[in-house]
Amino acid sequence: MTVKDLNTKTPPVFDIFISGAGIAGLTLALNLANIGLSVVIIDPVEDTSFPQTIGTRTCAIMTSLLPTLEATGVLPDIMDECSWLEKMHIVDMAGTKPPKDITFDAQELDTHAFALNIPNDVFRGALLKRALRHPNLTCFFGDMLADFKTTPALLDIQHDSGQISRARLLIGADGYNSRIRKVAQIEAKPFDYGQTAHTCRLKHTKPHHNISTETYYKDGPFTLVPLADNTCSLVWLERHENADKTMRLTREDFVTRLQTNSRNILGRIELIEGPTSVPLRGMVAEKLVAPRCALIAEAAHAYSPVGAQGLNTSLRDIEVLVSSIKNYAQTGLDIGSETLLKTYEDKRLSDIHRRFNIVNNFGQAVSTHSDLVKALRAGAMSALKDSRFLRKLAMQTGYTGAA
């Protein structure tokens, strides 16, 4: 249901108001609407048309978190563009000579794949399509949250357009510069990675065999992630000064760089979409809640793409929040209560901070120019390659969050 203006003197009361219609916001909205709650979602982007291209950015969603996506109903709509990640092959070209390498196989964790790689634009488009026709969802596009006031039982929410809504719980999924985080006066700790991420979509002559290949160069990782058929997405991190030079290359010279960096493991490479580039910036909120408000996803945390923790951490936020709201709603309790919000924060805040520190430390370790760190990195890779126990421990920590 799309509503541009509800011309009523008394604003209707909704169960949940979500600011931000990205992948995380829409996933949360559909999960909540599907359990019978009335949900509003608002986003400043007015265009609701389905994307005409697959795009250059993807998200590798861990298999343990797929039930949260399955609950939205969109997976059957997008599977043709996705690929399972069954193995991860890591090669360290910036460390000791000869280069160290290691392969992680999902079968060692008794699962068929680590993750499902999904194109972001296709994913959001499918979520948006379902949201627009869901009877429990009211969508305001081309509008945004301007301010809100908390009362004992409800929130009065003012839109930028002047529209007023009321809700029992307000959720910020409105990204790095979250308006909700600012109004709620929740402080956030920023982090500058000093790197730019190039992304593009490639076609290649050799099959990828559902193997994600991550090659460490002096500036950072060059990661080829499988997509449908003989295509893949590339995430390539470089220091800002070198990234600027790369983006000034001609298309032909850029493809030549890709061919060299790929070490020809996928045969001849063809550039389908991109490149696009974005400076990397991290952030972690000091709190996740305020009275009748909760933060999720990049309103609460932003990570480097190293380790693929970003959207996966967002889905963990959603998983916990939906479970808590569902339990309260089914028993007739207040879904915006301080107790519910404290439970959410207690379950998520320490994990978010822990992953933020791990991602930052790991990102620095694979992008360093220090000979000592390179030697330590080589030693760690050798130990993991030689020990099934250590390899399995590393995989459990990285992909399930539990050692």
What is the number of structural domains in the chain?
1
Q: How far apart are the first and last CA of the chain?
A: 44
> Does residue 27 form part of some domain?
yes
pLDDT higher than 90, residue 22: yes
Q: CB of 384 within 8 A of CB of 390?
A: yes
The predicted structure's pLDDT at residue 399: 60
> Does residue 248 form part of some domain?
yes
Mean pLDDT throughout 311-316? Answer: 93
> Does residue 90 form part of some domain?
yes
Say how far apart CA 37 and CA 167 lie, in whole Å: 11
* Chain centre distance of CA 233: 15
pLDDT confidence tier of residue 403, bands split at 50, 70 and 90: very low
Residues in the chain: 403
SS (H, E, C) 199-267: EEEEEECCCCCCEEEEEEECCEEEEEEECCCCEEEEEEEEEHHHHHHHHCCCHHHHHHHHHHHCCCCCC
Helix/strand/coil for 137:
strand
**Interval 203-238: pLDDT, tens:** 999 999 999 999 988 888 899 999 999 999 999 999
Give residue 263's domain range: 13-365
> Does residue 113 form part of some domain?
yes
The 10 Å Cβ neighbour count of residue 213 is 22
Mean pLDDT throughout 129-140? Answer: 95
Closest CA to 21 of 131, 168, 156, 159: 131
158, 159, 163, 165 alpha-carbon torsion, rounded to 10°: -60
The predicted structure's pLDDT at residue 2: 39
pLDDT higher than 50, residue 402: no
> Which residues does 49 contact at the CB level (< 8 Å), separation at least 6?
none
More confidently predicted of 165 and 93 = 165
> Does residue 85 form part of some domain?
yes
Q: CB of 208 within 8 A of CB of 265?
A: no
pLDDT higher than 80, residue 374: no
**Interval 332-373: pLDDT, tens:** 999 999 999 999 999 999 999 888 877 766 666 666 666 676
Backbone angles phi, psi at 100, to 5 degrees: -85, 150
> Does residue 372 form part of some domain?
no
> Does residue 389 form part of some domain?
no
Q: Which of 53-62, 92-101, 142-151, 158-167 has the lowest average pLDDT? A: 92-101
CATH number for the domain that contains residue 53 = 3.50.50.60
Structure tokens at 94: 């910036």
> Does residue 96 form part of some domain?
yes
Say how far apart CA 200 and CA 53 lie, in whole Å: 12
Gyration radius of the chain over CA positions: 22
